[in-house]
Structure 1
Amino acid sequence: MIDLALDPGFGSAIGRGVGAIALYAVVGLVLMVFGFYAIDWTTPGKLSALVRNGCPNAVIVTAAGLFSMALIVVVAIYSSAGKLDEGLLSALIFGFVGIIVQVAAVRLLEWITRLDIGALIESDKFAPASVVVASAHVALGLVVAVAIS
C-alpha cells in the first residue's frame, strides 16, 4: 500500500491556482473580445460577418490581432511574478493599451501605404497585403509585450 502524504496547504494552493486560472481566463477573454470589437469598429465593413463568411484577408487580419492580444496578456501575467492582483491589473492595463496601439498603428499603416483596408478584408480572394496588416498586428503585440517585461 502506498502512503500519499500531502503538505497541509496543498488543497488551498490548488484552489488559489484554479481561481487564478479562471480569473486570468476571464481577463484574457474580455480583452480579446474588446480587441476584436475595437478592430471591427475601426475597420470598414462588418468584420465578424466577413470572418464568418470565410473572407481570407479578414480571417488573417483578425487572427493576427487576436494572437498579438494573447501575447500581451501572457507577458503581463508572466511579469506579475505570481502576484494575482498585480497580474490581473497589469493584464487589463497593458491589454487595453495594446488594443489602442494596434488600432492606431493599423490605421496609420493604412494611411501611409494607401491601403484600402475595407476593400482588402472584404475581398473573397487572398491579397498579399493582408499579410502586411497582419504582421503589423503581431509586431505591435510583440513590442507591447516586450515593453511590459
Structure 2
Amino acid sequence: MTTIRALPATFGSDLVHGVGAILLYGIVGLLLMFAGFYAIDWTTPGKLSSLVHRGLPNAVIVTASGLLSMAFIIVVAIFNSASDLTAGLITALVYGLLGIIVQVIAVRLLEWATRIDVGKTIEQEKFQPVSVVVAAAHVALGLVVAVAIS
C-alpha cells in the first residue's frame, strides 16, 4: 500500500524556521526603528516626541517622514540580508544601523545647505509649508540610502 502525503516531509521544520525568522527579523526591525526615531529626535532641535504629543503639525510631519524613511532603509537592509538566518540578522542589523547614520547625516547636511531652520519650523503651532520640504528630503534621502544598501 502506498502512502500519499499532502505535505512535504520537511514542512513542519520549514514552517518553524520561517516563523522564527519572521519573529527575529521583526525584533531587529523594531530595534532599528527605535534607533532611527531616537537618531532623528537626538539630531533635530527640540524634543520631537513631546512636540508630537502636543500635536504640533510640523513636528508630526517631520517625524512621520523620518520614520518612513527609516522604514525604507530597514526593509531594504532586511530584504538584502544573507540567506543564512544568523548572517542575515547580523547583516540586516549592521546595514540598518549604517543606513540610519548615513540618513541622519544626509538630512542634516541638506537642511544646512537649504538654510531651513528645522527647530523653529517644528515648534510652530500652525502648519508651515517648509515642513513638507523637510519631509520630502527625509523620504527622498531615505530612498537613496535604501537603494545604496541594495
TM-score if structure 2 supplies the norm length? 0.89
Shift of 1:29: 0.7
**How many angstroms does 1:11 deviate by?**
0.9
- Equivalenced residue count is 147
> What is the rounded CA distance, in whole Å, between the counterparts of 1:43 and 1:96 in structure 2?
18
CA contact (8 A) 2:58 2:122 kept: yes
Instruction: Give 1:53 shift.
Output: 1.4
Equivalent residue, structure 2, for 1:29:
30
* Secondary structure, aligned partner of 1:39: helix
Matched residue, 1:104: 105
Where does residue 10 of structure 2 map in the other structure?
9
**TM-score with structure 1 length normalisation?**
0.90
Give 3-state SS (helix, strand or coil) of 2:7's partner: coil
The more displaced of 104-113 and 57-66 is 104-113
The 3-state SS of whatever aligns with 1:23 is helix
CA distance in 2, matches of 1:100, 1:74: 16
Match of 1:136 in 2: 137
- Which ranges in structure 1 are unaligned for 5 or more consecutive residues? none
Deviations 1:57-81 (A, max 9, x none): 1111111111111111211222236
Which 5+ residue runs of structure 2 have no aligned equivalent?
A: none
> 1:1-149 counterparts in 2 under 5 A?
5-80=6-81, 82-149=83-150
The residue type equivalent to 2:18 in the other structure is: G
Counterparts in 2 of 1:4 and 1:55: CA distance versus 1, 3 Å: farther
The 8 Å contact of residues 72 and 91 in structure 1, kept in 2 or not, is answered as no
List, as ranges, runs of 4+ consecutive aligned residues in structure 1 with deviation greater than 6 Å.
none
Distance 1:72 1:110 in 2: 20
Instruction: Give the match's secondary structure for 2:38.
Output: helix
Identity of aligned residues (%): 69
Deviation at 1:94, TM superposition (A): 1.7
Question: Offset of 1:142 from its aligned partner?
Answer: 1.0
